[in-house]
A and B are shown apart, each in its own frame.
Chain A
Amino acid sequence: MEDLVRIRDLTVRFHTYEGVVYAIDDLDLDIRQGETLGIVGETGSGKTMTALAILRLIPYPGRIESGSIVFFDKGLRSELELLKLSEDKMRSIRGCKISMVFQEPGSALNPVYTIGDQISEVYLLHQRQELGRQAKRRIDSLLGNGGTLAASIKRPFWRWQSRLYNKIAEGSNPLEPRILSHIPLFRRLLWRLKDEAGLLTVSMLKDVEIPDPDRVAGRYPHELSGGMKQRAVIAMALACSPELLIADEPTTSLDVTIQAQMLELFRRIKADRGASVLFITHNLGVAAEVCDRVAVMYAGRLCEVAGVEEIFLHPMHPYTKALLEAVPMPGKELQTIPGALADAFNPPPGCRFHPRCPSAMPTCQHERPKLKEVAKDHMVACYLY
């Protein structure tokens, strides 16, 4: 399978008053076309930062210090170095080719705008031309029929509207609609774009299995349940059929029955659309459920990457083993990992897991293990192998 995103030597640091936080340290990771890659790790292991780095949305005072993130654009058949793109170009990728679903559906939606408005926004931003084409088609059909008096009076107006929307459909930022969209009252003349976006929104809401999508589109976030909000957020992320969907713990804040529905939804989305999914979770059960491959992160570094069956049946890295031991099972005493998560300001030298590792060797204390392929499609960063 070909790669969709190739991350190399990615380093993200936060320069705070207390010191430098090593959020991500020399990370190499590939996301392949059409797969679901899970990133698993404890809180603070750099899972979310990896996702935000791909979108170049690392919050201040964080910074991507070095590395490269190459994105293979299927539509354009070209390679894009995301870290070198201009901000404008990057914006055209966010929400369009790569989109993200956040952990808390409650705070991810703006409380003062309706669900419909917030999803339409994505269409109006990224698919303006397509919307213009649709609007023009609709006006042309109005022009075509009707010989009534009212229709003949409105005809010149429709003709002008048809020309206007045609300009939008042709793209290249034409002057007339650009001027109109800046003048408060005249902006209304472009209402058909909004209408078309609204129609797409409703069909998108239907796609994520929201009952009664017409009504829900007009609702405000606080009027919906947590599961519905998360579906709306997913609808927003899928609006432009992205090539990569990043899901940052999308089920963590939902209760278990809704979680199961949501995982089912993700599986279906992937099957229907063939998009790649980067699924971030701290729940191994969830990872086993939806992922094709799993990457395990610890303290900003990658420990192990392998196919989902491989990693659950033959875990190699001591941290992965410890994590799997720590999954609660009936009739078995719960194992914990001794020690605490590495200090973000002063991470241990060498392998970051060595202070907690049962099989640590002298080399582990001062030399960083490299990620190497020890079996087919199974990479581990550990001196045991």
Chain B
Amino acid sequence: MELRSYIIRRVLLLIPVLIGVTLFIFGITMLFPPAQRATLYVTNMRQLSDLPAIIQKYGLDKPFFVQYGTWLNQVLHGNLGWSRAISMPVAQAIPHLLPATLELAIFAVPLIVLVGIFLGTKAATHKDKPLDHGTRVVAILGWSLPSFWLGLVLMMIFYGYFSGLLPPGRLGVQMDILVDSAAFIRYTHINTIDAILNLNGPVLLDALRHLILPVMTLSVINMAFIMRLMRSSMLESLGKGYILTARAKGLAEKVVVNKHARRNALIPVITVSGYLFAGLASGAVITETIFSFKGIGWWAWQAAVMLDIPSVLAFALFTATLFVVINLLVDILYTRVDPRVRLGGAVQ
């Protein structure tokens, strides 16, 4: 009961958050003069001479709150506008593009989190030994490599030098046609999962082949962060009194570390992992763009470049919602890991 009322409260909190976010982004687009915004509605050259008519038609010179109200009204009726970036209604664009982004996140996040936690634990238990120094060097390297650079270098090596070994995109041309044919049922639009459900090996292999580089690019950078966080959190936990108690009980070092220290050390890592997943699920903009992995992040980039305002607003709405929901999940997960945490309260 406590849980349900907490969830309802948090979901209600989403409304002011979304209004705030859209007000902000809508406000930024209003900085452009009406004539400039009117050009965005132009579909052929003849209309260019008739900008005042367009301004009149869409109410682009009305006061800010009237325009915002109009947009909000449309959104509440399910009309998010037309995305020029990908030439389809925005309401359809999100379900169309989300599976690609989710696929990336589904592969990248567990890899990042599990390997990060594992290496962070190892670094902490081997503090100031070669293994610790080794992971530190790797972490700093990973952290300081910009993702656009790493992505391009990886592509140069695995797509350029090894001529097409690991290509960009989501699927090869042949597989793309196969996937859209009647013989292949799209359950989720997530290629790897669909391939498994259709028992189609070649599609699965091809999808994985396309996933390796973007997942690698995302992992190297984020893993470094999780690893360092886990290391410091683990070191703090290992210095606590209950670790000495656990050792004095006669427990093996493995049990002391994996049972008594790790559970306490995981708490900050859970928060960061939640945000990491939210960040990746709302689109890894640079990585998706470099590998033309057509997901939410790629769309956000296209929309920003083309001044596709309805898309940008929808992207903001989507991201904000996702962050609030993930935040809620992280809070609930906290209570599972740390009994001292109560929903809606602070640590006692």
Interface residues of A, Cβ cutoff 8 Å to B: 55, 57, 59, 91-96, 99-100, 102, 104, 106-113, 121-122, 125-126, 220, 222, 233, 236
User: Which among A107, A113, A125 is the interface contact of B249 at CB below 8 angstroms?
Assistant: A125
Secondary structure at the B interface, as helix, strand, loop or mixed, is helix
Please, which residues of chain A bring their CB within 8 A of the CB of B247? 57, 94
Report if A125-B245 is in contact (Cβ < 8 Å); known contacts: A111-B264, A112-B338, A220-B340. Answer: no
Q: A96-B250, A107-B241, A108-B245 are in contact. List 16 more A-B contacts (CB 8 A).
A: A57-B248, A92-B250, A94-B248, A107-B242, A108-B241, A108-B242, A111-B338, A111-B339, A112-B339, A113-B263, A125-B250, A125-B251, A220-B339, A222-B339, A222-B348, A236-B249
Distance from B196 Cβ to chain A, minimum over Cβ atoms (Å): 23
Between-chain CB contacts (< 8 Å), 19 pairs: A57-B244, A57-B248, A93-B250, A94-B248, A94-B249, A102-B244, A104-B241, A107-B241, A108-B244, A110-B242, A110-B245, A111-B340, A112-B263, A112-B264, A113-B260, A125-B249, A125-B250, A220-B339, A222-B348
Please, which residues of chain B bring their CB within 8 A of the CB of A102? 241, 244-245, 248
CA distance in complex: A176, B260 (Å): 26
Interface string of B308-348 (1 = CB under 8 A from A): 00000000000000000000000000000111100000001
Please, which residues of chain A bring their CB within 8 A of the CB of B338? 111-112
Please, which residues of chain A bring their CB within 8 A of the CB of B3? none
Find the B residue at minimum CB distance from A105: B241
Report if A109-B245 is in contact (Cβ < 8 Å); known contacts: A220-B339, A220-B340. Answer: yes
B interface, size bucket: 20 to 34
Q: Is B269 an interface residue (CB 8 A)?
A: no
Contact A95 B248 (CB under 8 A): yes
Interface string of B245-261 (1 = CB under 8 A from A): 11111111000000010
> Which chain B residues in 235-288 approach chain A with CB under 8 Å?
240-242, 244-252, 260, 263-264
CA distance in complex: A93, B248 (Å): 9
Please, which residues of chain B bring their CB within 8 A of the CB of A233? 245
User: Which among A59, A95, A104, A110 is the interface contact of B250 at CB below 8 angstroms?
Assistant: A95
CA distance in complex: A233, B244 (Å): 12
Distance from B67 Cβ to chain A, minimum over Cβ atoms (Å): 52
Find the B residue at minimum CB distance from A103: B241
Report if A109-B250 is in contact (Cβ < 8 Å); known contacts: A220-B340, A222-B340, A222-B348. Answer: no
CA distance in complex: A8, B348 (Å): 46
Distance from A277 Cβ to chain B, minimum over Cβ atoms (Å): 15
Please, which residues of chain B bring their CB within 8 A of the CB of A125? 249-251
User: Which among A93, A104, A107, A110 is the interface contact of B246 at CB below 8 angstroms?
Assistant: A110
Contact B241 A112 (CB under 8 A): no
Find the A residue at minimum CB distance from B247: A57
Find the B residue at minimum CB distance from A88: B252
Please, which residues of chain A bring their CB within 8 A of the CB of B251? 91, 95, 121, 125
CA distance in complex: A236, B252 (Å): 17
Distance from B266 Cβ to chain A, minimum over Cβ atoms (Å): 9
Report if A55-B248 is in contact (Cβ < 8 Å); known contacts: A110-B260, A112-B263, A112-B339. Answer: yes
Find the B residue at minimum CB distance from A233: B245
Contact B337 A112 (CB under 8 A): yes
CA distance in complex: A91, B244 (Å): 13
Distance from B327 Cβ to chain A, minimum over Cβ atoms (Å): 22
Please, which residues of chain A bring their CB within 8 A of the CB of B246? 110
Contact A95 B249 (CB under 8 A): yes
Report if A110-B348 is in contact (Cβ < 8 Å); known contacts: A94-B248, A102-B245, A121-B251. Answer: no
Please, which residues of chain A bring their CB within 8 A of the CB of B337? 112
Please, which residues of chain A bring their CB within 8 A of the CB of B264? 110-112
Contact B339 A91 (CB under 8 A): no
CA distance in complex: A55, B251 (Å): 13
CA distance in complex: A92, B252 (Å): 10
CA distance in complex: A102, B264 (Å): 20
Please, which residues of chain B bring their CB within 8 A of the CB of A59? 244
Please, which residues of chain B bring their CB within 8 A of the CB of A99? 248-249
CA distance in complex: A112, B246 (Å): 13
Give the interface centre of A92, A96, A108, A222 by most chain B CB atoms within 10 Å: A108
CA distance in complex: A110, B337 (Å): 12
